[in-house]
Structure 1
């Protein structure tokens, strides 16, 4: 087997492993394995890149309580979902981030930042979907809780 073929197989193996992980980490297994593989190939070929960010507005209302409860669960059981809020009086591009624990329910933990939401809202309104993955809870103890996530418009 040639060195080029070995490299190709390693890349393909990594893509398939990431596709299964993506399928497992999206809410209610939204994507078929074929869609997940196409998404992962796009990221490998640098045709698409994940955007890493923090959830904004986590200190309002009961969101700190929700984040504290989320920190008690295994990260593999937590899914994030984006919900457009076009009639928000403050920001017409507002996008809520909902955290859902497998078989437990969930709630709104905050919003996508304005910089990202202004571009993302247009895509979502046109019918395109967005992959959003939970990356972990930050803070705790004497600090406010926060949440990291990554998203990929497809």
Structure 2
């Protein structure tokens, strides 16, 4: 998770570097490509594969968990996180090729999606009963709305500065 969070922050800085002079951008672009490549291939992607492998072993050792409805919901969120991972990889490649159409504000919102998925995964495990699900879904929606508002407020603050 830390790799995904930091990776999208690098994407934001990489995208914002386009507003610098051509000489500065050339230097920053090269540096961001190197940082993103190392973070992605040395930390983030191996960690994802190790996590999926550990989860598969754990599920094999505890097959009774497959009967738990909360686990199915959690696995949907985890699948969403894996899709998020590979979309980030595509963004990295497009930034390296200087073909990315993502703005820094879109990337900031994209970064918050990982936070929402993380909270959803954790709350799914912690709140397993049906009554708690109602509060969890409402809380998650409220949390997502608050994050979006915070990103918009930050954008306005940056535009004033």
Bigger share in helix: 2
Q: What TM bracket, shorter-length normalisation?
A: under 0.3
Report 1 or 2 for greater relative contact order, CA contacts < 8 Å, sequence distance ≥ 6: 2
Bigger share in strand: 1
* TM-score normalized by the length of structure 1: 0.25
